[in-house]
Amino acid sequence: MAYKDLRGWLEKMDEMNELVRINGAHWNLEAGAVTALAGNRMVLFDEFPGYPPGYRVLASSSRDKKERFFVTANWSTEAEGLALTRAWLDRLREFKPVPPKWVDSGPIKENIIRGDDVDVLRFPVPIRHEKEAGRYIGTGHTVILKDPDTGRINLGTYRMQVHDGKTLGIHASEGKDGRIILDRYKELGKPCPIVAMVGIDPATFFASIAHCVHLGDVTELDFLGWLKGQPEEIFAGEFTGLPILANAEIAIEGEIPPDKLRMEGPFAEWVGYCQPREFPFVNVKTIYHRNDPILTVALGEGSRPPGKAGLRSDFRTAAMIWDQMERAGVRGIKGVASNSRRLIVVSIKNMYAGQSRQAGLIASQCHAGAYGNAWVIVVDEDIDPNNTTDVLWAVLMRTEPKRALQVLEYCWASHLIIQDPSYVQKADYAMRPEKATYMSRVIIDACKPLEWAPSWHEDVHIKPELKVQALKKWGDILGSGPTPGDRSVVGGGGGAV
Ligand SMILES: Cc1cc2nc3c(=O)[nH]c(=O)nc-3n(C[C@H](O)[C@H](O)[C@H](O)COP(=O)(O)O)c2cc1C
Ligand SMILES: [Mn+2]
C-alpha cells in the first residue's frame, strides 16, 4: 500500500522494525556517533538539548537497505545480485511521468515564519563531524530551482551549510543541473529563487539524487510521482512562486545573490574531507514546517568500507548506467556494477572487435556514469561484475596491460574528487578550479582479446563429477570441500609457473 509522506513511510518502517529511537542525544557530534553505531538501522532522534521535544531528526534513510527501498519505491523483487540490478532496470523502463498536483494548502503550512523571526536554527541542525565547518542543514534534502530560460523545475541535492540563522551555503558541483541554473542566473545578474526542502520522504530524496535524465519536459517531480504511485501535492511558495511539497516536513524559501560568494566547508564528503572553497549562499526569507517537524539528514561515519558508500555496488546507479548504455545502442550487456561511482564494471558478450571499447567508453561517459567516475573495467560475460575478486582476476589474467588501457582526458569531474589541491598546479594543462575542473579516467578492457588464440587462457576447471567422486572416497578427511566449480581450486598448489 502506498504512503503519502515521511510519516506514513516511517509507520511502515516501524512495522518492519527498522527504526531506532534515541532521545536526548546532543546535536553537536553525538547524534553522528550514535548513527555510526546504529549500523544499518535508521535513527529517529528526539529531545535534543536546548530544543522543544518533537523537533526531530531522521538520520540516513532508505537507500542503505533494499527492503526499505522497496517500500520507498512501491516495488519489490526476490531477485538478488545482478538479477536485482536488471529487475530495477526493467522497472525503470516502465516509467511514465506522473506530474505533481497543485493544491492550496497542506500540513507543511502549519507553521510559517517570515521576516525577523526567520531562524533555521529553530531546528536541531547537527554538527556531523568535528572537522566540518559547522552545522549542515542540507544533507538529506532536496533543492528546487527553476531554469530561467525554459521554466523547467529541477530537483537536486546540493549540501547546505548554516552560515547563520538567515544564511545558508549551497554547494552544487560543476555540471549538475542545479549548478547550470545557478550559473545562468549569475550570467543574467539576477538573484536566483530557491526552495530547500530539508525534511522529506525517501522517495523525494531518491528522485533528487538519482541523476534522472530529462527527456522532453520530464522533471524529477514527475519521477517522484511515478515512484510513489500518486501525484506529489505542491503549492506555490509565497516568496518564490516555486513549488513546495505540501506534505513534506520543512521547507525553506529564499534567494541566492548572483554576485556574492562565501567560504563553505570543510565537509566530510564521500571521497573524504573536502577543503573549504567559496560558494554562493542563500538569503532565507520564509520557513514552513509541520508541527513536530522532522529534519532529514545524512549522518554517520565516512565512506571507507565498510562504511555506507564503501566499495559496494549500488544497484540503482548500476541500473541507470545499464539503461543508458543500452539506449545508446551497446549490444550484449550482461551486467553493470557501480562501486562508489569511481569504479564501473561492465560485463558483455564480446562478439566483435571494438565492442568492449565501445562498452567501456559509453559507460564512462553516459550521464549516469560520467560524474565522478575514474575507472571503468569491461569484462567477459562469465565474470560477475559484482564479484570484485573475479573482476580483479580478469584484469590480472586476461589483459596485456598496455593494450587493455585507454586514458581519457578532460572528462566531467568535480573539485571534490581532486583531493590534493596542488594537483591543480601540477596538471599538464592550465587549470583554473574556479572556472573548470577536469579529470582523466581509465578504461581497462579486460575482455579476452578476440585475436588471441581461443586455446590461450582457456578456463581451467576440475570437473564437478570428479570432485564429487573424490569427496565420496575421502570426504571424511577433506570435509565437504569447496563447492563444485569454486575457482579457489583452480591452479591450487602451483598453477602455471
Ligand atoms: C547524500 C548526498 C549528498 C549530495 N551532495 C551533493 C552536493 O553537495 N553537491 C552536488 O553537486 N551533488 C551532491 N549530491 C549528488 C547530487 O544530488 C546528484 O548528482 C543529483 O543527481 C543532482 O541533480 P541534478 O542532476 O538535477 O543537478 C549528493 C548526493 C547524495 C546522495
Ligand atoms: Mn536534474
Report d(CA 413, CA 183) in Å as an integer: 17
Q: Phi and psi for 269 in degrees, rounded to 5?
A: -85, 175
Q: Is the beta carbon of 128 within 6 A of some atom in ligand 1? A: no
- C-alpha triplet 89, 95, 96: angle, nearest 5°: 170
Pocket test for ligand 1, best of 176, 212, 267, 341 (most atoms within 8 A of CB): 176
162: region left, alpha or beta (phi > 0 left; psi from -120 to 50 alpha): beta
- 167 and 290 belong to one structural domain: yes
pLDDT at 459 over 50: yes
Mean pLDDT score, 162-173? 96
Asked if residue 22 is part of any domain, the answer here is no
**63 in a domain, yes or no?**
no
pLDDT of residue 145: 98
> Is pLDDT above 90 for 76?
yes
Same domain assignment for residues 107 and 224: yes
Task: Indicate whether residue 178 lines ligand 1 (CB < 6 A).
Answer: yes
Pairing of strands 42-46, 19-23: parallel
Q: Do residues 391 and 484 share a domain? A: no
pLDDT digits over 1-31, tens only?
589 999 999 999 999 999 999 999 999 999 9
* Tens of pLDDT, residues 61-71: 545 789 999 99
* Mean of all residue pLDDT scores within the chain: 90
Structural domain contains residue 352: yes
Q: Is residue 180 located within the same domain as residue 223?
A: yes
As for how many domains the chain has, the answer is 3
Which atom of ligand 1 is found nearest the CA of 159?
8
Q: Average pLDDT, stretch 443-458?
A: 86
Q: The domain containing residue 329 runs over which residues? A: 315-445
Judged by average pLDDT, the poorest of 67-81, 141-155, 206-220 is 206-220
Average pLDDT of the residues in 414-436: 61
**How many angstroms separate the alpha carbon of residue 141 from the centre of ligand 1?**
10
The three cell numbers of residue 435 are 572556472
In this structure, are 140 and 228 located in the same domain? yes
Do residues 128 and 299 lie in contact, with contact meaning Cβ atoms separated by under 8 Å?
Answer: yes
* Gap between the Cα atoms of 34 and 29, Å rounded: 9
To the nearest 10°, report the CA torsion of 216, 217, 220, 221.
Answer: -140
Reported as a single tens digit per residue, the pLDDT across 243-278 is: 999 999 999 999 999 999 999 998 887 776 677 888
Q: Using alpha carbons only, give the angle 424, 132, 260 rounded to the nearest 5 degrees.
A: 65
Residue 491 clears pLDDT 60, i.e. is over it: no
Binding site membership of 296 for ligand 1 (Cβ less than 6 Å): no
In this predicted structure, the answer to whether residue 338 has a pLDDT above a threshold of 70 is: yes
Check whether residue 335 and residue 476 sit in a common domain.
no
In a domain, 160, yes or no: yes
**DSSP structure string for 148-194:** TTT--EEEE--BEEEEETTEEE-B--TT-HHHHHHHHHHHHT-PEEE
Q: Which atom of ligand 1 is nearest to the CA of 180?
A: 27
Q: Count the Cβ atoms, other than its own, within 10 Å of residue 343.
A: 19
Residue 489: pLDDT band (50, 70, 90) is: very low
Domain assignment of residue 455, yes or no: no
Task: Please check whether residues 189 and 258 belong to one and the same domain.
Answer: yes
The reply to whether ligand 1 has any atom less than 6 angstroms from the CB of 280 is: no
CB 62 less than 6 A from any atom of ligand 1: no
Å from CA of 225 to ligand 1 middle: 20
The CATH number for 264's domain is 2.30.110.10
171 pocket-lining for ligand 1 (C-beta < 6 Å): yes
| CATH number of the CATH domain containing 325 | 3.40.1670.10
Q: Over 60: is that where the pLDDT of 225 sits?
A: yes
Q: What angle is formed at CA 170 by the lines to CA 166 and CA 174, rounded to 5 degrees?
A: 165
- Answer with the one of 237, 263, 295 that is the final residue of a domain: 295
How many angstroms is it from 203 CA to the middle of ligand 2? 15
Same domain, 337 and 197: no
Distance between CA atoms of 343 and 373, rounded to whole angstroms?
6
Least confident span in 1-15, 52-66, 307-321, 365-379: 307-321
Residue 367 alpha carbon to ligand 1 centre in Å: 13
Question: Does 156 contact ligand 1 (Cβ within 6 A)?
Answer: yes
Q: Which of 230, 265, 295 is the last residue of a domain?
A: 295
Q: Is 84 helix (H, G, I), strand (E, B) or coil?
A: helix
Which atom of ligand 1 sits closest to the CA of residue 210?
A: 21
Same domain, 291 and 173: yes
Residue 297 beta carbon below 6 angstroms from any ligand 1 atom: no
Q: For residues 386 and 260, state if they share a domain.
A: no
Question: Per the domain annotation, does 21 fall within a domain?
Answer: no
Q: Are residues 260 and 319 located together in one domain of the fold?
A: no
C-alpha cell at 108: 507543511
User: pLDDT band for position 302 (50/70/90)?
Assistant: low
Ligand 1 site, residue 173, Cβ cutoff 6 A: yes
Residue 133 inside a domain? The answer is yes
pLDDT at 456 over 80: no
- 38-66: pLDDT as tens digits: 888 899 999 999 999 999 999 975 457 89
> What's the CA-to-centroid distance between 211 and ligand 2, angstroms?
6
Question: Does residue 351 or residue 458 have the better pLDDT?
Answer: 351
- Ligand 2 centroid from CA 317, angstroms: 15
Q: In this structure, which residue's CA is closest to atom 22 in ligand 1?
A: 156
CA of 345 to the centre of ligand 2 (A): 25
Ligand showing the shortest atom-to-Cα distance for residue 140: 1
320 and 291 inside one domain: no
pLDDT band at 209 (very low <50, low <70, confident <90, very high): very high
Q: Does the beta carbon of 154 sit less than 6 angstroms from any atom of ligand 1?
A: yes
pLDDT at residue 74, as a whole number: 95
Domain contains 84: no
* Ligand 1 centroid, distance to 374 Cα (angstroms): 18
Over residues 447-462, mean pLDDT: 83
298 CB near ligand 1 (under 6 Å)? yes
For residue 79 and ligand 1, the question of a CB distance below 6 A is answered with no
